Structure 1
Amino acid sequence: MTRSSLPLSVEPASTDRGYRCSTGSRERGEPLTATASTVSRFLLMEEPGPWGPAVLNCYRVPDPVRQLAESWEREFGIRPLLIRRPGRSAPAPRRIFVVNAAHGWAQTTTVESLDDVASLDLSGIGSSAGVGLTPHVDPVLLVCTHGRHDACCAERGRPVAAELARRWPDLVWESSHLGGDRFAANLVTLPDGHYYGRMEPDSAVDVVERHLSGHLTPRFHRGRSIRPWVAQAAEAAVRERLGETRLDAVRTHVLRREASWAEVEVFVGESRYVEVVDVARADPALLTCTSPLPSAAPTYVVRDA
């Protein structure tokens, strides 16, 4: 499998409010492989919204919580997200999740208001034991619908979230920005950290059904967030070669990382594969709906060592 540079002409700056980055990405044939955000720790805070363009600048997040979340992000690598049930219901109390995807756990609590999040102690988020909240055993399915951040997320994400919620009402949440607006609709499964992109309502149902049965769907799989991008690329290449779709069948380890290439070990059962991942840049393109100028996204080409 390869994720190669795309022979594109440079797109103009986005001055047209009708421009949609997800349409541009599809028209360019931009690969989904190795595009999952590289984050393993999450704080999910239920807030029906509406949400501002950035979570930590949103006035609905109380100042003490915003300040703490900023420090948690710096110190512990926690990604703060706002979530809501499809339909923007406004229940009280609010649901809070803390997730460590590297260790595969999610813990939860409820608060009367987001002000109470400031009383949480998240210093243990890096441990396998968690932060002392109630263990949450069911998957958490996040669909980005953050329209104030990028129009594509709302336009493509809300129909997907609504369709999934009809099937799995207790598992599905709309989410603020997950990363990769141009791959909307985006779906993230927690606590395992798998990212899927270009979801449509029908395909999303199929993807979730397979995921809940223990298999990923390569066509829509962006990668697993606990792995760096070069490891996501190497894993995808080995999975494609072997036809391996089991969620937990593959482990990776980056042996060497240079600016333009990396060497990655990929383990499938007792078998070991060593892949070289060449890193380059695609031709510049508008990567969000509001991009003022084109940017060059990284590309990955995988070959045997």
Structure 2
Amino acid sequence: MTHLFCSDHSKEVGEDVIGSATNYQTYVLIECPPPWHSEALNSRWVPNSLKVLVEEVKRTKQPIRFLLIANNESHKIDHTTLLIYHQQEGLGNGYRKQEFKLPNIEQAAPTIRKWLSGSTPKYEVKTSATRDILVCTHGSHDMCCARYGNPFYYHADATISDLGLDEVRIWKSSHFGGHRFAPTAIDLPEGRYYGALDQESFKSILMRSGDINCLNKVYRGWGILPSAMQVLERELILRYGWDWFDYKVAGKIIKQSLDNCTIEAELTFEKPSGCLYTYQARLVKDEIKTKELKGSCNATKESVFAKYGVANLNLIASKVSAYCALPSR
């Protein structure tokens, strides 16, 4: 049977969304009103200076993701918002934000160049916003992001307003991967990815309340961790609940088999109280959950998307103060 929409097919075959978050050291988000070309940087309002910069970054293989963003006011305002999110080193809970209010989009490339060189760019501002949520609505790149991303964005914007979350901003975004999980989102500054979202699960994510098991269906993973390790973090989220989102985390792959069917991974986290824990686990390729399907509506052939299960999860180290209880194993 031919499936027109990749997102519908992914849901039909029961693909698990976990392990699909991508890892970047830096996100550079440039406000640019749509419509966007299928290749976002070829869009009408993107200056050549920005295109040249992005190509230079690609050639030098720097782990930076450039995205266009917009909201309902972007076509009316007389300035351009530039957001740079840079990953924290070591134990951390995501990315550090720097925000710039540019007089126009032509200033984006020189401002980014200064930032990359370690200089202090002009136009930096402080705002009350503590959270930026990106929803892929890039329909010219993939039909699912138009069919599911756009309606979700408008309802999510209303949800944020209804909840009175003035410190949360929501943006339309150009393609960041995972079309087949539309509607899909990135929650910054954490850098966590979500997919197959609905308003109920979105509200739980916003408020960090409700049934934590909703993340089994919508949590794509944390972009600061290797993709294969993201299932391990989800397992620990389900154990610790919404409190997990206040923990600082670092993870690494210790070793993996040549065929990538088994992976030894280690994840360390620190609670706000200062208590430190380290888990090790064996991640095993799940042949049932591993799927072969098209990754996007425009794909001409199917790809294999490997999924892993968590085995032999053990707490191997802890540094516990009088204020902490040992976690259940």
Q: Which residue of 2 aligns with 1:210?
A: 208
Counting only pairs closer than 5 Å after superposition, residues 97-112 of structure 1 correspond to structure 2 as 97-102=83-88, 104-112=95-103
Percentage identity across paired residues of the two chains: 25
Residue 190 of structure 1, CA deviation? 0.9
Q: Deviations over 1:241-269 (max 9, x none)?
A: 45565214343222224441321112344
Q: Residues 278 and 59 from structure 1, CA distance in 2 versus in 1: closer, same or farther, beyond 3 angstroms?
A: farther
Q: Deviations over 1:184-242 (max 9, x none)?
A: 1111111110111111234323322228x9x8952321111111112212222233345
Q: Choose from 160, 165, 169 the match for 2:157.
A: 165
TM-score normalised by length of structure 1: 0.83
Match of 1:152, as an amino acid? C
Q: Deviations over 1:48-88 (max 9, x none)?
A: 11001122333431111111022234543211101110476
Higher-RCO chain (CA-CA 8 Å, sequence separation at least 6): 1
Residue 117, structure 1, aligned to residue 108, structure 2? yes
Verify the 8 A CA contact 2:31 2:74 in the aligned structure 1. no
Verify the 8 A CA contact 1:207 1:217 in the aligned structure 2. no
Counting only pairs closer than 5 Å after superposition, residues 45-64 of structure 1 correspond to structure 2 as 45-64=30-49
Verify the 8 A CA contact 2:291 2:306 in the aligned structure 1. no
Tell me how large the CA RMSD over aligned residues is. 2.9
Q: Residues 130 and 262 from structure 1, CA distance in 2 versus in 1: closer, same or farther, beyond 3 angstroms?
A: farther
- Partners of 2:172 and 2:65 lie apart in 1 by 16
Q: Which residue of 2 aligns with 1:180?
A: 178
Q: Which residue of 1 aligns with 2:27?
A: 42
Q: Which residue of 2 aligns with 1:288?
A: 296
Q: Deviations over 1:31-60 (max 9, x none)?
A: 011111222311111111100112233343
Q: Residues 240 and 91 from structure 1, CA distance in 2 versus in 1: closer, same or farther, beyond 3 angstroms?
A: same
Q: Which residue of 1 aligns with 2:254?
A: 255
Q: Residues 201 and 158 from structure 1, CA distance in 2 versus in 1: closer, same or farther, beyond 3 angstroms?
A: farther
Q: Which residue of 1 aligns with 2:142?
A: 150
Q: Which residue of 1 aligns with 2:317?
A: none
Q: Choose from 48, 59, 64 the match for 1:78.
A: 64
- Partners of 2:252 and 2:200 lie apart in 1 by 35
Match of 1:47, as an amino acid? C
Unaligned 5+ segments in structure 2 are 90-94, 162-167, 271-275, 314-329
- Partners of 1:246 and 1:156 lie apart in 2 by 29
Residue 153 of structure 1, CA deviation? 0.9
Q: Choose from 221, 229, 232 the match for 2:230.
A: 232
Q: Which residue of 1 aligns with 2:221?
A: 223
- Partners of 1:267 and 1:130 lie apart in 2 by 33
Match of 1:177, as an amino acid? H
Verify the 8 A CA contact 1:42 1:81 in the aligned structure 2. yes
Q: Which residue of 1 aligns with 2:323?
A: none
Q: Which residue of 1 aligns with 2:8?
A: 23
Verify the 8 A CA contact 1:102 1:192 in the aligned structure 2. no
Unaligned 5+ segments in structure 1 are 1-11
Q: Mean alpha-carbon deviation: is it higher for 176-185 or for 31-40? A: 31-40
Match of 1:247, as an amino acid? F
- Partners of 2:117 and 2:305 lie apart in 1 by 30
Instruction: Name the larger-Rg structure.
Output: 2
Secondary structure of the residue that 2:303 maps to in structure 1?
A: coil
- Partners of 1:134 and 1:217 lie apart in 2 by 36
Counting only pairs closer than 5 Å after superposition, residues 273-284 of structure 1 correspond to structure 2 as 273-279=279-285, 282-284=290-292
Runs of 4+, deviation exceeding 6 Å: 129-132
Verify the 8 A CA contact 1:144 1:157 in the aligned structure 2. yes
Residue 161 of structure 1, CA deviation? 1.3
The size of the alignment, in residue pairs, is: 287
Residue 115 of structure 1, CA deviation? 1.4
TM-score normalised by length of structure 2: 0.77
Q: Residues 117 and 243 from structure 1, CA distance in 2 versus in 1: closer, same or farther, beyond 3 angstroms?
A: closer
